[in-house]
Amino acid sequence: MKRRSFVKKTFQWLAGLGLLTGLYSWQIEPFWMQFVYIKMPLKNLPDDLIGKTVMQISDVHIGNSFDYQYIIDSFKEAQELNPDFVVYTGDYVTYEDDEQISQLQEVLKFVVKGALGTIGILGNHDYGIDFVEDDVARNITKSLEDVGVTMLRNDAVEINGLNFLGMDDFWGSNFYPKKATAKYNPEKANIALCHNPDVCDLPVWNNFKGWILSGHTHGGQVKPPFLPALILPVKNKNYDAGIKDLKDGRTLYINSALGCLRQVRFNVRPEITVFLLAKEV
The footprint of Fe ion (CB under 5 A) covers 59, 91
**Nearest C-alpha neighbor of 59 from the set 241, 277, 250:** 241
**Nearest C-alpha neighbor of 92 from the set 61, 53, 115, 57:** 61
Q: How far is the CB of 271 from Fe ion (least distance, A)?
A: 13
Specify the residue, 206 or 263, whose C-beta has the smaller distance to Fe ion. Answer: 263
Q: How far is the CB of 75 from Fe ion (least distance, A)?
A: 17
Specify the residue, 117 or 120, whose C-beta has the smaller distance to Fe ion. Answer: 120
Q: How far is the CB of 227 from Fe ion (least distance, A)?
A: 22
Using CA atoms, how far residue 118 sits from 49, 109, 190, 257, in Å, is 15, 15, 15, 18
Q: How far is the CB of 62 from Fe ion (least distance, A)?
A: 11
Q: How far is the CB of 48 from Fe ion (least distance, A)?
A: 34
Q: Are strands 210-214 and 250-254 parallel, antiparallel or unpaired?
A: parallel
The C-alpha atoms of residue 189 and residue 208 are separated, in whole angstroms, by 11
Specify the residue, 59 or 168, whose C-beta has the smaller distance to Fe ion. Answer: 59
Specify the residue, 29 or 91, whose C-beta has the smaller distance to Fe ion. Answer: 91
Residue 213's DSSP bridge partners are: 193, 253
Which one-letter amino acid corresponds to residue 280? E
Q: How far is the CB of 94 from Fe ion (least distance, A)?
A: 8
Specify the residue, 65 or 206, whose C-beta has the smaller distance to Fe ion. Answer: 65
Using CA atoms, how far residue 56 sits from 10, 129, 256, 263, in Å, is 45, 26, 11, 21
Specify the residue, 91 or 155, whose C-beta has the smaller distance to Fe ion. Answer: 91
How far from the centroid of its chain's Cα atoms is residue 264's Cα? 17
The C-alpha atoms of residue 184 and residue 186 are separated, in whole angstroms, by 6
